Amino acid sequence: GQNIDQPTEMTATEGAIVQINCTYQTSGFNGLFWYQQHAGEAPTFLSYNVLDGLEEKGRFSSFLSRSKGYSYLLLKELQMKDSASYLCAAMDSNYQLIWGAGTKLIIKP
Amino acid sequence: GAVVSQHPSRVICKSGTSVKIECRSLDFQATTMFWYRQFPKQSLMLMATSNEGSKATYEQGVEKDKFLINHASLTLSTLTVTSAHPEDSSFYICSAKASTSGGSETQYFGPGTRLLVL
């Protein structure tokens, strides 16, 4: 079956770095997406990885290892506004997104 | 670029009435749009895939006669919740598939519609 696993909740301190891990099992693979969702709002796109390696975008970076079925989202210099849920989604061979349950990130001062 | 709008943002209706939600891609054409619902503290659940000019593809367990989807143009898809009941109260989110500058495709989400059925 198809499955996405990510931690339910994480806590970090303002100004620090946090890594949110995601493992996936899909029928075929056409890329790994990360989205940010603030409470009561729709998700917003953060990153897309289809090749192995690290993609950096400002304070956010995303890593993919296709052989391990593994990705992580790295957030640096954490700010209070980064408190949100982070959704990992893998695209299968039919180009459908398989969603993880999301990781709720709590930032403390 | 890749902005998706959704209307209305909030709607309260009486049980038994129908509610229409519009999803528009504002600066790009979307041959494929998706409709999701999300219950509090839960992940997105795909309801259906909407393809311009053809019938929508519904996920297992989603009643196509209750959730009517019409993808009338390359920039507009509508979801109509017919004969709404309190259990249909949820956050409904649409997304549209767009090509990025790198040649990949990704989904951009509308702001969502919060439906409350009394």
Bridge-based pairing state of the strands B10-13 and B113-117: parallel
What secondary structure letter does DSSP report for B26?
A: S
- Cβ pair B106:A48 closer than 8 A: yes
Share of chain B above pLDDT 90, in %: 62
Q: Return d(Cα A84, Cα A35) in angstroms, integer.
A: 10
Give how far A28 is from chain B: nearest CA, Å: 16
Task: State the Cα–Cα distance between residues B75 and B67, nearest whole angstrom.
Answer: 19
Task: Give me the pLDDT at residue A78, please.
Answer: 97
CA closest to B111 among chain A residues: A42
Shortest CA gap A16–chain B (Å): 26
Q: Which residue of A has its CA nearest to B37?
A: A42
Quick one: pLDDT at residue B107?
79
Residue B65 vs residues A52, B84, B90: alpha-carbon distances, Å? 43, 12, 18
Tell me if B78 sits within 8 A of B72, measured CB to CB. Answer: yes
**pLDDT, position A49:** 92
- pLDDT for B1 equals 60
Token look-up 């041959």 returns B31
Q: What is the pLDDT of residues A47-59, one digit of tens each?
A: 999 999 999 989 9
**Mean pLDDT for all residues in chain B:** 89
From the CA of B48, how many Å to the nearest CA of chain A?
Answer: 11
Calculate the average pLDDT of chain A: 93
pLDDT tens digits, B77-98: 999 999 999 999 999 999 998 7
Examine the pLDDT at A36 and tell me if it is beyond 70. yes
